[in-house]
Amino acid sequence: MSSLAAARADGYYRPKNFDPNKMEVRPSDTPFDKPFKVVEGERVGGNKIRYETPFHVRCEGCHNMVAKGVRFNAMKTWVDNFHSTKIWEFRMKCPQCPQRFVVRTDPENCDYIYVSGARRIFQAKDCTD
């Protein structure tokens, strides 16, 4: 196997005299390895992701509209299961005020539920009618 093909196989190039025991171990800096800390009743740290609003919502703090497709830095946590599907919760801050949004996935209805901090502006139609 050529060296280029070997690099493509696992994503790393290792020379012939490579010894994995001589490698130094560095601590991971990814946010997925960091545990949660509770500061003043709120979780800090943990799974940080980019969340994009799937529909138009209105903030309950400042009553401004947050349009569909606005991206947020959010905290992602696993809350519960629906059969074998995980229910995820996303926590983020309003861009105009200090209000916090809490959004959960709803695998039963293939939708998102705004638990607190914001409300949907346009409700989805019932597909069964």
Q: Where are the domains of the chain?
A: 31-120
C-alpha to C-alpha distance for 79 and 115, rounded to whole angstroms? 13
**Run means of pLDDT, 10 residues per run, the chain, 129 residues:** 56 76 60 54 67 90 90 87 89 89 91 91 61
Sequence-ordered list of residues with C-beta below 8 angstroms from that of 119, at least 6 positions apart, any chain: 57, 58, 60
Sequence-ordered list of residues with C-beta below 8 angstroms from that of 37, at least 6 positions apart, any chain: 43, 44, 45
Length of the chain: 129
Please, what is the average pLDDT of the chain?
77
Sequence-ordered list of residues with C-beta below 8 angstroms from that of 63, at least 6 positions apart, any chain: none
pTM of the model: 0.60
pLDDT score at 57: 92
Q: How do residues 68-93 score in pLDDT, each as one tens digit?
A: 899 988 888 888 889 988 888 999 99
Amino acid in the structure at residue 27: P
